[in-house]
Structure 1
């Protein structure tokens, strides 16, 4: 059941663009920027500053507003026009009938007036928090949308595709140069209720075992990633409780190790091994810092999940990516203590430096076997003694 209907303004409620940089300016313009003195032509509901620069309320707009109000539905204005005062003034001069058929300024008939040049994700999240109405019960009318009437999931505009995996694709944010947007491939609206149940358990730090149910495994991974990003202060939107198949997080900058010249040498060469040994220890530094600062242990810290700040041809600092496989962990001053989280794909001993290094070395050399860079037999011989790798 629809409880809130939102409207864009320009070319949706009225014809034309209410542009603060042009309205009331130019040759033959009337001084109507702020405040409007009156409707220039009340008979046809037109406000103009010159014959070439005007807005005109669509004839059906007052009828639509009256019909919405008579049905007990709230009205919101969600517009990316940058001048809220200018838009509000125009809406004050335009009239419609309320639910009791009394003529009122449209401003008096609006419950939520969200006019700001920002992604529509943000005003709808505010409206949801204020009203308690879920996105599924909101509609947006916007002439710039691919569909004039669409259900809101709040997803902001996507930029360049950065990469994709089994479960998701990652994009630059089209509006925030310091953010990325991850869109889940298999998300369906019907999964939301179960996701919230799982997320609540994981948020509280209680163990949750998804078993062999594919949907539960998928949702558990999502719940961990959102909770963990929220804990380390990298989740930008939405709140985990409002998740609808995408999320925006802080963009991590750096260089992938395999793009550096030394990495391209043979896996058994000394420069190669020194390079990745240093990278592994930098990853461990980052894991430890995150545990001590936020209480979260990254459990999937291989080279594909890290970018590096470089100093010449050497890595100087690691930056971790992909927090779906990470668990609660605390440092008591002597040892690391893991919480009750149960991961879907990564059951193992409690984390410590030797464990983290061992896991990363094995992961790297298994990858080289798959790439046919070394033989499986040589890899097994090499991995028998990892003493050198533990030394900083």
Structure 2
């Protein structure tokens, strides 16, 4: 358990190169199937692996433990495949293997502005934009700051240490 961090009400994640190391609409080809060796890994039509960065599941679980609303905002051109991957990928949630999508209260995935994703999350959840933190690897998505969202750009290529980011950027 993490101490001395004031968690936001809502943390929103991009998918591609934020939660997993690929573009779901470019680098992999459906159909996807679970790996025989690891339920948290999917294999695409050509044998390419799809999985979260190594620290993501633990981060999502910690945020869930802290009662943070978790969401996805992805401008992917393949929303069907993004959701399919999240449904097929099995990760430990509250002590048992469940589809990764169960971490997320809202999954907004379609091409277009992240502003639209956030407006839907706000309208459906009632959570104030100022109580949302957004992790993304693309600085162009900083536009959500105009709504009052805290934007934190993922700067490491191989993983996302959100807890360090939160500790450094949130009041504790």
Q: TM-score, normalised by structure 2?
A: 0.70
CA distance, structure 1, for counterparts of residue 84 and residue 141 of structure 2: 28
SS, match of residue 12 in structure 2? strand
Match of 2:46 in 1: 50
1:161-176 pair list within 5 angstroms: none
The structure 1 segments of at least 4 consecutive aligned residues displaced by more than 4 Å after TM superposition are none
1:194-205 pair list within 5 angstroms: none
CA distance, structure 2, for counterparts of residue 11 and residue 49 of structure 1: 20
CA distance, structure 1, for counterparts of residue 38 and residue 81 of structure 2: 18
Match of 1:23 in 2: 28
1:135-154 pair list within 5 angstroms: 135-145=129-139, 152-154=145-147
CA distance, structure 2, for counterparts of residue 80 and residue 6 of structure 1: 13
Could you tell me whether the CA contact under 8 Å between 1:74 and 1:110 is conserved in 2?
yes
CA distance, structure 1, for counterparts of residue 65 and residue 144 of structure 2: 21
Unaligned segments of structure 2, at least 5 residues: 1-6, 149-172
Match of 2:124 in 1: 130
- 1:94 deviates by 1.9
- 1:40 deviates by 6.5
Deviations 1:280-318 (A, max 9, x none): xxxxxxxxxxxxxxxxxxxxxxxxxxxxxxxxxxxxxxx
1:87 to 73, 82, 88: 82
Aligned length: 142
Could you tell me whether the CA contact under 8 Å between 1:5 and 1:73 is conserved in 2?
yes
- 1:47 deviates by 2.8
- 1:44 deviates by 7.1
CA distance, structure 2, for counterparts of residue 17 and residue 41 of structure 1: 23
- 1:50 deviates by 3.4
1:58-137 pair list within 5 angstroms: 58-98=53-93, 100-137=94-131
Tell which has more relative contact order, 1 or 2 (C-alpha 8 A, sep 6+): 2
CA 1:112–1:137: 2 relative to 1, 3 Å: same
Could you tell me whether the CA contact under 8 Å between 1:80 and 1:115 is conserved in 2?
yes
Q: TM-score, normalised by structure 1?
A: 0.33
CA distance, structure 2, for counterparts of residue 83 and residue 136 of structure 1: 29
Could you tell me whether the CA contact under 8 Å between 1:136 and 1:151 is conserved in 2?
no
1:5 to 8, 11, 32: 11
Could you tell me whether the CA contact under 8 Å between 1:18 and 1:87 is conserved in 2?
yes
CA distance, structure 2, for counterparts of residue 41 and residue 114 of structure 1: 30
CA 1:126–1:7: 2 relative to 1, 3 Å: same
CA 1:120–1:40: 2 relative to 1, 3 Å: farther
Tell me which structure has the larger Cα radius of gyration.
Answer: 1
